[in-house]
Structure formats: C-alpha cells, structure tokens
Structure 1
Amino acid sequence: MVVVFVLGLCVSALMERRAEVASIFNNRKNVIKGIEARNERYNDDFPREYQTWTETAKTDFESEFNGNIAVDVLEKRPEMVVLWAGYAFSKDYSTPRGHMHAIEDITASLRTGAPMNPTEGPQPSTCWTCKSPDVPRMMEALGVDSFYHNKWAAFGDEIVNPIGCSDCHDSETMNLHISRPALIEAFQRQGKDITKATPQEMRSLVCAQCHVEYYFKGDGKYLTFPWDKGFTVEDMEAYYDEAGFYDYIHKLSRTPILKAQHPDYEIAQMGIHGQRGVSCADCHMPYKSEGGVKFSDHHIQSPLAMIDRTCQACHRESEETLRNNVYERQRKANEIRNRLEQELAKAHIEAKYAWDAGATEDQMKDVLALIRQAQWRWDFGVASHGGSFHAPQEIQRILSHGLDRAMQARLAVSKVLVKNGFYRRSSNA
C-alpha cells in the first residue's frame, strides 16, 4: 500500500507539473513568431528563467583554478605568448565570463583588432557565430554562406543581443532546438539525424553548437566541425592532416599550427558522466524551486558554485570532499600542463635558432611535425576549461603525449643545430 501511495504522489506531482507548463504556454503574454533575438521579450512569460539568465552577468565566483572573473592568462602563464607567436591569441587571452558578457568581451578583445569600417579587420564574421541569438536571424536573412563570408566588423551594428533564449529554444514552442547549422551538418556527415535526439541528449546538444572544436573552412570561412573521423585528439588531427589545414604559421618555429577552440562537448563524452548519460544542463543548469515552481536555473556557471544542487543531487559526500575531488583532478592535470608549456616554448625558440643557423626545410621537417603534434595536444587539453574534471584520464593522456612530443622535438632540433654548427656558449666562455 505504501508503494502504491508513493507512486500515486509521483504521478500526481507529474500531472500538476504538466498542467502548470500547459497553463504557461496557453496563456503566454507575448506570442512570438519566427526568430526572436531580443532576450527581454521572454521575461513576461518566463520570469524565473529570465531572471536567473541575467545572473550570468555576475563576476563574483572564484574557484582554485577559474571562476566567472576575467583573468589575464597570458600574464600568469607567459609561455603561452611564445606558443601563439604570430597569432591573435598572443595579444589577448583571458578566462571566460558568463553569457551576458559575450558581445562585450568579443568587442573589447584585442584579437578582433580595431576595424574602422565594415570591410576592415583581421577576423571574419564567422567569429560572431556563437556570440548572439542575432546570428540565426542574420543567417536566415542573408544565407549561411553569405553570413560567414564577410568581415567581423560588417555586422557589429546588427549583432547586439548576448547569448540567450532563442540560441537554445524555439521562439514559438520553447522546445530545445539547434539554431546553428554546423552541428546539424556534422551529424549529417556522420550519417546521423540530429532531429531524433532524445530530450536528455538535447540538454547537451544545444551546448554542443558552440562548446566544441571547430575551424573556418576555405576562403568562405565556413564554420565546420572536424568530427568526420571521430571525437578524439588523434581523430581530429588525422582529419586536419588529410586536409592539409593549419590555423597559422608560427612566427618563430615556422610550424603550421592547429589552434584548438574549446572541445568541451567532445571531452565530456569521453568521461564517466557523459558515458552514463549525464547532460551538460544537469550540472551547469540544475533545477531549483521558487514559490512552489520547479525550473531550470539559467544562471549557467560552474557546478562548484552550487554543489548542493549539482554534485550532491547524486553523490552523498560533503561539499568540501566533492570540491577537493575536482581540485585534485585539476592539480594533477596542471602539473603536466605546466611542464608541457615550458618545454614546448623552448622547442619553438630552439627551432628559430636552427633556422637562423641555416637549417634547411628538409632538416626541419621532423622537428616541425613534432611541434605541431605537441601543440595540438597541449591546446586541445587546456582549451576545454573543465576537461580535467569531465574526462581526467583522457586529459592526462593527451597532455602526457604532448609533453613526450615536445621533448622529442627538442631532441630533434638539437641534432639539426649541431649539424649547422650551432652550439651553446658556456657562461665562462
């Protein structure tokens, strides 16, 4: 009888929740048709979700290694300036802030230059793709190809709303949907139909529109996910190698470098939580209750800021134990990361010495291949800020392989230096 009673309560609660949701949708104050990029238009009908979304503007949380405060990473780890020499990231790279700051931060970034008109500047309009719900609106108006094939400055007066409601929700039905074509196209190339994704899968796939590795393909700068061969660092490297792709030529070593973006989704799928079906939203947008109403907290942030509603929804350890569990994984990964950054920076500088000493392209071929491989693994491992928690074993494997290749590159370039008569003068000479 007790079991029947409990089941009855559950069914009753579910029916009440469905009735509440139906009531909201049947009595919406703002009937929206088509793409609506203005986030404030959703406030009247979804005040709790909207209010918590505005809290992504906060910069008051700090953990041992990150938070929601912009910190100059180049100042803290100057080796990265060497690693990205000749590329825009060597000018400006800070820890990320919340979604409300998306437009503000990309506009202020030194990476986008200082264009004086719509046809100037170093970056393509593709750089806007994940910054605003205005992007799907512009894609619909211009066509996807035309949107990508412009300068970043061309759309500065059109893209004004920060990442928000219609990026993840259909404006009319509020169902989760995919608003960016690159993810749909990546699934299609793998023979998958993304429209068949389950509701739980969609709670991660809406994030996978942007929190992934991608590149700008061809002269049209068409945003593309390199998933055709798989999700691993080796799979994507093989894809890029086959295409002969590189993001830039390194200013010192002359290596054709691959710049990883932020392969958060891919790495999360390799970890125990992803493998067990835990979605991004389960941990970064946990449910909360207010006035008897249960809803998803749209203050998207680190789960460490709300352990009682994230980790402890499943795990029974104390907040301190759970927090330290995350920190310990990050500390171990950072031990390898720090060593890798030091050795890789030295490899770039030593390669510059080799070129200056008269090394030939044939002599440097193996050196550059090793540097490219080492840097790709380093960047892939560190660009995903939560990777050391999402898939700690995979991140340590990737970074360890990167360190191995950086050391191999230094050994290889030392042989080239000797062949070209270069030697290090002792301090007593």
Structure 2
Amino acid sequence: SKDYGTPRGHMNAVEDIIHTLRTGAPMTDEEGPQPATCWTCKSPDVPRMMDSVGVAEFYNKTWAHWGHEIVNPIGCADCHNAETMDLQISRPALIEGYESMGLNIQESTHQDMRSLACAQCHVEYYFTPEGKYLIFPWHNGMTMEGAEQYYDSIQFADYTHALSKAPIIKAQHPDYEIFKTGIHAQRGVSCADCHMPYTSEGGIKYSSHHVRSPLASMNNTCQVCHRETEEDLRNSVYERQRSANQIRNLVEKELSTAHLEAQFAWEKGATEAQMKDALQLIRQSQWRWDYAVASHGGSFHSPVEFQRILSLSLDRAHKARFEISKVLAELGYTGDVPLPDISTKAKAQKYIGLDMEIERSNKQYFQETVVPKWLKTAKNNNRLVSLK
C-alpha cells in the first residue's frame, strides 16, 4: 500500500481522498490511476451528479474528471430524504446488491434502515473491468465464501501480485457483512444504536451525529443494555481484539513469506502448471486475510466469524508454502529460501519498487496546483456549500 491513514470521520471524506497517495497526482481531467467510482461514498454531490449524467456515465470517467463537482463532504442528504428527513438509500449499488439476492430494499423496517444507511458504503465491493460499474458481490449471499464464489465464477482479479503472480482479490471493508454474522445484529441491534446513540436536548430525543466508537461514550451505548462496569466492558472488547491480532500476526508472516517464496520459485524456472495450485491457495489466503483486516471493528462485531476467517487464511498460507516447497524440490532446490528484509513498511515499499519520495512530491504538487482550481470552479458554480 502506498499509504493507509487513520480514519478521520465523514467530515474529512473529500479531503482525505484528495490527499491519499492512492488517487495519484492527475494533472488533467483524463489522467490518474483511479476511476470516478472512487468518489461514490465521499459526498452528497455524488447522487446529484448521478441524477444529472446517469449512474453508469458517472462511474465511467476518471476520478479527476469530477474533481470540481465532488467538493462537499458526507452530509445529511447521503442518508436522509431532503423533504421528510426520513432515512433513505441514495446510492444505487446497495439497492442493486439487494436485488442480486432477490430482495427488495424498500421492504426494510426503520430499524433495518438504521444499519442500511451505513451499508451504502461500509461494505465489500468491486468495479467491473469495463465501465468501472460499482457492484456488491452478494449474488451468493453476504458471506466471505459467497463473495469469493462469485468472483471465481467470473474469473475476477483486482490485480496480479507483482512478486508471486497470484491473481488477487482486493477486499475493501466488509463491515456490514461481518456485522450481520455477529450477536448484536442477530439480536436486532443496528449500527446507529451503538455508533450514533440517542441523546436528549431541550426535551427532544435524537441520534447523535458525532459518529464514533461506542467506547467513547459507554454510558450512552454499551451500558444502555449491559450492566457491567465500563472497565469490564472495555476489557471485553480489547480481549477480542488481542485474540484476533494474535492470529492476524501469524497470517501476515506466513502469507508474506508465501509471496516471496513464490517469487523465488519463478526465478528458479517454475512453470505456470507447477505454480497453479500454490497461486490459488495464495489468492484464497490473501482474500481471507484482507476480508478480515480491511473491516472496521470486525473483531468485536463478530469475533467468532472474524477469527474463523483469519484461521482459514492461515491454513491456506501454510498449504501454499507447502505446495511451493514441492515445486522447488522438483526444480532441485531443497534449501531455505533467502528472504529479503521487509521488517518495516519503508523497507517493504522499497523492495517492491515504490519510490515514496516521488509519490509524495507528485501528490504535493497536485494539491498545490490542481485542487485549488477544482475548488475555484466549484465556488464559481455555487457548488461549494462550506469550507472547514
């Protein structure tokens, strides 16, 4: 990864996607590594543009193409009907995701909507190779295995790993899917119940829109239902995180080693036929690892499912390494595979050929030259509601 920043909340959504190295430094409207689809969850300007130009036409542009239009951060209109303030779904991908399961999202209850408003964005997704259309892979249900089965059925890969040559599925953030397998969701608790707890002011009861961890106000969240002390409840959460991290750390060591050993096998003259089974196992391991670690709060939302997925990832990584060892033996190599020092993020980035100084320099120049033009155009067109 070029960078991976700390989450800063909805108010910073537009600012953060502009600043991240992952969107590159496009100097014109037609340049850049990312499609316009990447804007989908960042702003209420997105539904406006979809209504204006069409959903498919919105997606099928470069990210930079709409830079002067997508300027306001996540706000009321993303989740609420502007006339009635009722909860609504403003992103077509969620509606289409429900339809792919044979369900009608219009039949959802109000309590369902208190989670589905979040599920517009806090989910796993992919872009079609042609047109970059946004799809939720729920055709076989909302499970990790269901999504994998769908991706395999269409022979989809987000990219081919530069070292191992494994066809990788890049998980995004299947927060809603993992949450749905946990005890809170099974008991009818919604995302908003914990992340937007009810508060009262002037005799009026409403959901707090300071969206944050429930641990920040446990008297209004956990302790509404649970009678344990804050310390006990907090430690319960931390214990789930510690247990998950133990498995995650093992997976990351084994999986990264599998990629490096696969690279070594290729260098020794391995054929595609010899590497087929190992690469499929690497694909499966990485998908399971990423599905877990890319989620927000998964180790608490559904600790059993979270650790199950990581354990399966560890199993696939071990099996991949075993398959690679057999390939190396066929090639006459039976010693230990020499591994590079990738003990830090900087060392790993250097090993795979990322020049971070150039990346950061290009991004800074983009922010200083292109972004001000976007904002000026937006302001002149009365698109900019507010600036922080």
Matched positions, count: 338
Equivalent residue number for residue 304 of structure 2 = 393
Q: Select 2:165's aligned residue among 254, 258, 271.
A: 254
Mapped contact 2:44–2:75 kept (Cα < 8 A): yes
Q: Select 1:321's aligned residue among 232, 246, 258.
A: 232
Please give the per-residue CA displacement for 1:58-111, whole angstroms capped at 9, x wherever unaligned.
Answer: xxxxxxxxxxxxxxxxxxxxxxxxxxxxxxxx2111232111110111100000
Amino acid at match of 1:407: H
Mapped contact 1:344–1:406 kept (Cα < 8 A): yes
Mapped contact 2:101–2:141 kept (Cα < 8 A): no
Superposition RMSD in Å: 1.1
Mapped contact 2:198–2:205 kept (Cα < 8 A): yes
Mapped contact 1:357–1:421 kept (Cα < 8 A): no
Amino acid at match of 1:424: G
Equivalent residue number for residue 244 of structure 1 = 155
Equivalent residue number for residue 198 of structure 1 = 109
Q: What is the CA–CA distance in structure 1 between the aligned matches of 2:165 and 2:87, rounded to whole Å?
A: 44
Equivalent residue number for residue 122 of structure 2 = 211
The CA deviation at 1:422 is 2.7
How does 1:175-324 map onto structure 2 within 5 Å? 175-324=86-235
Equivalent residue number for residue 159 of structure 1 = 70
Structure 2 unaligned runs (5+)? 339-388
Equivalent residue number for residue 36 of structure 2 = 125
Equivalent residue number for residue 9 of structure 1 = none
Mapped contact 1:371–1:406 kept (Cα < 8 A): yes
Equivalent residue number for residue 281 of structure 2 = 370
The CA deviation at 1:425 is 6.5
Q: Which runs of 4+ in 1 moved over 6 A?
A: none
Amino acid at match of 2:220: R
Q: What is the CA–CA distance in structure 1 between the aligned matches of 2:107 and 2:203, rounded to whole Å?
A: 33
Secondary structure of the residue aligned to 1:368 is helix
Q: TM-score, normalised by structure 1?
A: 0.78
The CA deviation at 1:190 is 1.7
Q: What is the CA–CA distance in structure 2 between the aligned matches of 1:104 and 1:422, rounded to whole Å?
A: 51
Q: Does 1:404 align with 2:319?
A: no
Amino acid at match of 1:175: D
Mapped contact 1:286–1:297 kept (Cα < 8 A): yes
Q: What is the CA–CA distance in structure 1 between the aligned matches of 2:67 and 2:231, rounded to whole Å?
A: 44
Q: Select 1:338's aligned residue among 249, 253, 265.
A: 249
Q: Select 1:99's aligned residue among 3, 7, 10.
A: 10
Structure 1 unaligned runs (5+)? 1-89
Q: What is the CA–CA distance in structure 1 between the aligned matches of 2:168 and 2:8, rounded to whole Å?
A: 27
Secondary structure of the residue aligned to 2:205 is strand
Mapped contact 2:157–2:169 kept (Cα < 8 A): yes
The CA deviation at 1:177 is 0.3
Secondary structure of the residue aligned to 1:201 is helix
Deviates more, 1:110-119 or 1:94-103: 94-103
Amino acid at match of 2:203: G
Mapped contact 2:261–2:337 kept (Cα < 8 A): no
The CA deviation at 1:266 is 0.6
Equivalent residue number for residue 145 of structure 1 = 56
Greater RCO structure (CA 8 Å; 6+ sep): 2
Please give the per-residue CA displacement for 1:13-48, whole angstroms capped at 9, x wherever unaligned.
Answer: xxxxxxxxxxxxxxxxxxxxxxxxxxxxxxxxxxxx
Q: What is the CA–CA distance in structure 2 between the aligned matches of 1:319 and 1:340, rounded to whole Å?
A: 32
Mapped contact 1:183–1:209 kept (Cα < 8 A): yes
Q: What is the CA–CA distance in structure 1 between the aligned matches of 2:143 and 2:224, rounded to whole Å?
A: 30
Q: What is the CA–CA distance in structure 1 between the aligned matches of 2:105 and 2:142, rounded to whole Å?
A: 17
